[in-house]
Amino acid sequence: MRIQNVMATSIKIDTVSATQSLRSMNTALKASTNAWKAEEVQAKSVGNYLKASQARYEGLGRSIDQAKEKIKLIQERQKALDLTTEDGRNSYNRYAKQLGITVKQLSSMTAQQERAKSAMQYQTSGLASLQSRYRSLNEVNSSYVKRLEAEGKKYEAAKTRLTSYKSAVENLTKQQKIQESELSRIASESGKASSAYHAQEVKVNQTATSISKLNSKVKSAQSEVNKLPGFKIEVQH
């Protein structure tokens, strides 16, 4: 009877110790997540999206490591349990529930980190700045063309539109090169049958289509400029 009491006491002590360890890990995981999220928000608030994506990627990496350690601890605790006792079986089931939750969290964080990696590569590739400049220039040029047209300056408006189209083609061509490089990288890392490859291939095709459409607009705009009063034939040297 005394031996059974000692064994029961030992199981309870081990259970309390394991519970405290898991609580400590939960606290550390939560603190780590809050820390990188705060760093990400801070970086975004000042417009540093590269730093924001790096904070998310690296922070998720640390959280993933902590989740793996937690899973390892839970599994070790499960192995140490005496499943011939009711307390042991109950503890095993509680651990199994926590294990399922943690495995699900790990899967989610791993997927998030993959997306964070793509976001970080997007920033470092130069594509982000090119696309931002593309949108900005289109807005500025469009508003300026409308202003010139409202002022009756048809030649200046047509010439500005032509210049705008040419700049857009140049920008998109640079974007296309970066996108094609990314497509090659994904092909070597994930394979051409992967969903990531297909998604990137769509982007490359969309950019190519936009370039073709803009080239048609360049020809049309050049023809318009040539017909308007004020056109001067440039001498080729």
Query: Tens digits of per-residue pLDDT, 101-151?
Result: 999 999 999 999 988 988 888 888 889 889 999 999 999 999 999 999 999
One-character DSSP codes across 15-76: HHHHHHHHHHHHHHHHHHHHHHHHHHHHHHHTT-HHHHHHHHHHHHHHHHHHHHHHHHHHHH
Give 152-165 pLDDT, tens digit per residue. 999 999 999 999 99
Domain boundaries, the chain: 2-117, 127-227
Q: Please, what is the Cα angle at 196 between 170 and 129, to 5 degrees?
A: 30
Confidence of residue 22 (pLDDT cuts 50, 70, 90): confident
Name, of 74-83, 184-193, 213-222, the range with top average pLDDT.
Answer: 213-222
**What integer is the mean pLDDT of 163-174?**
96
Amino acid sitting at position 103: V
Residue 99 per-residue DSSP state: H
Report the alpha-carbon distance of residue 55 to residue 123 in Å, rounded.
13
Beta carbons within 8 Å of 187's beta carbon, 6+ residues apart: 197
Q: What is the mean pLDDT of the chain?
A: 86
Residue 185 has pLDDT above 90, yes or no: no
Phi, psi of 234 (to 5 degrees): -80, 135
Distance CA 53, CA 68 (A): 22
